[in-house]
Every structure is written in C-alpha cells, then in structure tokens.
Amino acid sequence: MSASSTLSHLSLSFSSSSFIHKPKFLYPITNNYYPNSVSLSTTTRICASSSSSSSQLMDPFLSKTQPPIPTTVDVDLGDRSYPIYIGSGLLNQPHLLQRHVHGKRVLVVTNNTVAPLYLDKVVEALTKGNQNVSVESVILPDGEQYKNMDTLMKVFDKAIESRLDRRSTFVALGGGVIGDMCGYAAASFLRGVNFIQIPTTVMAQVDSSVGGKTGINHHLGKNLIGAFYQPQCVLIDTDTLNTLPERELASGFAEVIKYGLIRDAEFFEWQEKNMQALLARDPNALAYAIKRSCENKAEVVSLDEKESGLRATLNLGHTFGHAIETGVGYGQWLHGEAVAAGTVMAVDMSYRLGWIDDSIVKRVGDILKKAKLPTTPPETVTMDMFKSVMAVDKKVADGLLRLILLKGPLGNCVFTGDYDRKALDDTLRAFCKS
C-alpha cells in the first residue's frame, strides 16, 4: 500500500448522521432561551430513591424542603459505566457521593485555591451519617506548571503514609489539573483504586472530568504521561462556578464551542445567541451548556473510549493549543485560551485546504471574541517551536501528524493525516512572526 493510500485509509470522516450528536431534547433556538427540561431542577434520567413516587419526582413545584433532583447523563461503557450528576447544591446531597464509596478510606486530592472553599463541604458530604468512613486530604499547589511527577509523588506520599488500601477511594476536587493528576494517581496506586471526579471549573465540568483521560505533563509536551482510567461518577455542583474567576470561566467555553463546531451545529447556534448569558453566569444557561456538552462527550466516549478514531475529534484545536502551552511555559496561558487560538489555526488550515467556506471562519472568530478568548497565539511562539512540539504530539502515527480539521457544513470534521503539508506551513507562517 502506498503512503498516500495509507494516509487515505487513516483519514476518518465523521460527517455521517450516525456520528452527529442528536440529543433527546431539541428546542427552537432563540435568543436567551433555556429549555426548562434541561434546567437545574429537571433531568434526562431522574436519580432518586425508589420510595419516591413518579408523580413526586416529576412535579416541577416540589417542596422547598426537598433537595433539587440532579440531571444525570450516563457514560455507557458496559460494566464500567458511570453517571454524571449535574445540578445546583449537589454537595449538600451526601447520598450522591456515598453511594460510590465502597471502602472505609477516602483521600481527597485538591489544591490550595479550592480547598478553603469546598474541602470541608466535601468531607462533610462523604461522612455525614456515615461515621465509618475516614477522610484524608492532600492539598497541592494550584496551576498547570505543577502538573508533573514531583507533584504526583505528593499524592502517593499521602496515600502511603495514611496506609490506604485497594478498597480506598480517591476524590478529585478541583479543575482539570487536579482531576488529571488524581485520576492518574488512582490508576497507579496499588495498581488501581476507585476515584470520583468533583470538577469545579467549566473546563473540567464540560470536558476533562468525563471520559477517563488522566495524566501529567512532560517538559517536552503536554499530557504525554498518563492512562485511560474511568471514575466511579462525576459530580458537577454548578454552584462551584460562583467562585470561579472570570478568566477561568471564559477559558472553559473554548471546549463548549468545540462541541458545536465538530458535531453539534444547533448547539453552536445556541451559543452564538447566548454567550453573553454564559459569561454573566446565568444559572439556566450554564446548566444547559454543561449538560449538552456532557451529552456530546459521553456519546463519543461510549463509542470510542481509547481514542482510536472518533474520540480524537474532541481534540479540535488541541494540537496547535498544546504547542502554545508548551512554548510559552505551562501555566502562562490557560488551557482554554490556548485551545481557542489553536482552534482558529485549525479552522484557518481547513479553509486553506478548501474544506470549509469563509463564513465558518468568520463565525468561529466572532464567537471566540465574544467569549473573551484569544484568536491568535502569542508572538513568542515561533514556527519552529510549533513544529518541534507538534512532532511529539500523541496523534502522530508512523511519523505522520494527524490533525482534527473542519470539513463540510458546520458540525462536521475529519481526523486525518491526509492533507497538503503546504496548508499547514501556510497557516503557521500566517500566525507566527518567525
């Protein structure tokens, strides 16, 4: 088989209807419209005790003394399936966490920003009415620059010093960095213990906490060391977004926008009309965006857990974005900021290849600017730096850099190594000063 035919064989197109996200609830997309059926108090699949009647569960005017019923999105992976709970005040519902803790020992992994805000609340949720459970915690420094082996060893040190066993549960309380490191620690400690994700940033809630990608960075590239390891559950208490800095909030919307571009055009159109509401932290808008993002992510993970093809499309903008993060130094740009600039570069390359029209290019730039995200990489990242980092990207196969690019109408993309290299060079030249 020739090199070109091999590349063609590797090219995976996901423009067919079977790969386009079609959520159960589709509503007319109008400005500032958030369907009631996806608000914080209603569900896709209602999780409550079996003693409650169905009429009570579905009554939208429940007594104020009853806790809100979380929206639940399932990640279907056979005997490793797990729920994503989404809602307001979920940390005040101990049963949601306790049902997924099977031993008596828990280690909460968090950072020095999140711990003062939510650690006590999580410990209370894990132990309330369940005094047989003992909870330890390890508080790590906050930031992408600490997502490394030295910091990971602090988690192992605490676990070993606390004499945790294989029935112990690790709990990740924080953003994507904490979730990735805690998950990797859980996958490795005693060759695997259970863990739970409690994401507290938009980025983690809509993307990194779902799907079992765990790991740490290497100085030569981002997320090069890690494992696929699924959590027991993901608990998204949307109230934690109330304390999120504006820059972190905006960063997370880069991943939300991604879902619309690669597989859910109607969701993208909704975002165009409602980005201001998201930035203003409108609770119904946030609940809808988180739920629909999780539905998209869960569907893809269920079909392709180990990223052999379809799941790779979730990395739109990430190959360029990871090069930006590595080039400027971890922690200088937030992950979503780098992904936003990387998405613009991927879209530019798609246009140069003749795969999309200029209206999509404009819409992508417009929505990212509306979301207060960067649309160009920093001037310090050179063309040579991009090429050097991209050469060790996880999507390189047999020496070929495979990219996620848009192709066709909005909501369609390809994961391929079969493209004209000149288009890549032209894009890099257009965005790099040297």
- Nearest-angstrom CA–CA distance, 96 and 87: 12
- Nearest 10 degrees: Cα torsion 416, 421, 427, 431: 110
**Same domain, yes or no, for 19 and 141?**
no
**Same domain, yes or no, for 93 and 236?**
yes
129's tokens: 């009415």
In a domain, 66, yes or no: no
Helix (H, G, I), strand (E, B) or coil at 388: helix
**Same domain, yes or no, for 262 and 360?**
yes
244, 263, 283 - which closes a domain: 244
Is 311 considered catalytic here? yes
**Same domain, yes or no, for 212 and 266?**
no
Say which of 318, 352, 394, 402 is annotated catalytic. Answer: 318
Is 191 considered catalytic here? yes
Place of tokens 């979301």: 371
Q: Domain total for the chain?
A: 2
Q: Check which CATH number belongs to the domain holding 237 and give it.
A: 3.40.50.1970
255's tokens: 């991943």
Q: At a CB cut-off of 8 Å and minimum separation 6, what does 296 contact?
A: 21, 259, 263, 264, 267
Q: Is 222 within 8 Å of 326 (Cβ atoms)?
A: yes
Say which of 322, 352, 394, 402 is annotated catalytic. Answer: 322
Q: At a CB cut-off of 8 Å and minimum separation 6, what does 227 contact?
A: 183, 184, 187, 188, 214, 215
In a domain, 62, yes or no: no
- Nearest-angstrom CA–CA distance, 46 and 73: 10
Sheet of strand 12-13, all strands in order from the earlier edge strand to the far edge: 12-13, 413-416, 403-406
Say which of 21, 158, 292, 335 is annotated catalytic. Answer: 335
Place of tokens 């197109």: 13
In a domain, 273, yes or no: yes
221's tokens: 């590239």
Q: Alpha carbon of 124 to those of 21, 147, 196, 239, 246: distances in Å? A: 38, 27, 16, 17, 28
Is 322 considered catalytic here? yes
Beta bridge partners of 234: 84, 197
Is 92 considered catalytic here? no
**Same domain, yes or no, for 317 and 213?**
no
**Same domain, yes or no, for 195 and 292?**
no
**Same domain, yes or no, for 110 and 193?**
yes
Say which of 263, 291, 311, 352 is annotated catalytic. Answer: 311
The secondary structure of 285-310 as a DSSP string is HHHHHHHHHHHHHHHHHHH-TT-SSG
Residue 88: HSE in the Cβ half-sphere, 13 Å Cα cutoff = 16
Say which of 299, 307, 325, 337 is annotated catalytic. Answer: 307
**Same domain, yes or no, for 167 and 26?**
no
**Same domain, yes or no, for 268 and 156?**
no
194, 225, 244 - which closes a domain: 244
**Same domain, yes or no, for 90 and 220?**
yes
- Nearest-angstrom CA–CA distance, 94 and 112: 23
In a domain, 120, yes or no: yes
- pLDDT per residue, tens digit, the chain (434 aa), is 444 433 333 334 433 333 333 333 333 333 444 443 333 333 344 333 333 333 333 344 444 567 778 999 999 999 999 999 999 999 999 999 999 999 999 999 999 999 999 999 999 999 999 889 999 999 999 999 999 999 999 999 999 999 999 999 999 999 999 999 999 999 999 999 999 999 999 999 999 999 999 999 999 888 899 999 999 999 999 999 999 999 999 999 999 999 999 999 999 999 999 999 999 999 999 999 999 999 999 999 999 999 889 999 999 999 999 999 999 998 899 999 999 999 999 999 999 999 999 999 999 999 999 999 999 999 999 999 999 999 988 889 888 999 999 999 999 999 999 999 999 999 999 999 87
- Nearest-angstrom CA–CA distance, 257 and 265: 10
Q: Calculate helix-pair angle for 421-431, 335-352, nearest 10 degrees.
A: 130
Say which of 315, 337, 394, 402 is annotated catalytic. Answer: 315
Helices (H) and strands (E) in the chain, counts: 15, 14
Per-residue 3-state assignment (H helix, E strand, C coil) for 273-286: HHHHHHHCCCHHHH
Give the DSSP H or E segment for 222.
strand 221-228
**Same domain, yes or no, for 359 and 419?**
yes
Is 315 considered catalytic here? yes
Q: What is the DSSP letter of 315?
A: G
Q: Check which CATH number belongs to the domain holding 322 and give it.
A: 1.20.1090.10
Number of Cβ atoms within 10 Å of the Cβ of 33: 15
In a domain, 64, yes or no: no
Is 21 considered catalytic here? no
- Residue 129 is which amino acid? G
In a domain, 69, yes or no: no
Say which of 255, 266, 295, 299 is annotated catalytic. Answer: 255
Cα 430 → chain centroid: 29
Domain, as residue range, for 230? 76-244
In a domain, 348, yes or no: yes
- Nearest-angstrom CA–CA distance, 83 and 234: 6
* Burial readout 284-314 (b: 16 or more C-beta within 10 A, e: otherwise): bbbbbbbbbbbbbbbbbbbebbebeebbbbb
217, 244, 271 - which closes a domain: 244
- Residue 73 is which amino acid? V
- Nearest-angstrom CA–CA distance, 42 and 287: 10
**Same domain, yes or no, for 272 and 375?**
yes
- Nearest 10 degrees: Cα torsion 325, 326, 328, 331: 60
Q: What is the pLDDT of residues 229-264, one digit of tens each?
A: 999 999 999 999 999 999 999 999 999 999 999 999
Is 402 considered catalytic here? no
In a domain, 193, yes or no: yes
Say which of 158, 213, 352, 394 is annotated catalytic. Answer: 213
- Nearest-angstrom CA–CA distance, 308 and 300: 11
Say which of 24, 64, 191, 219 is annotated catalytic. Answer: 191
Closest by CA to 283, choosing from 16, 46, 89, 13, is 89
Q: What is the pLDDT of residues 269-300, one digit of tens each?
A: 999 999 999 999 999 999 999 999 999 999 99
- Residue 213 is which amino acid? K
Say which of 105, 297, 352, 402 is annotated catalytic. Answer: 297
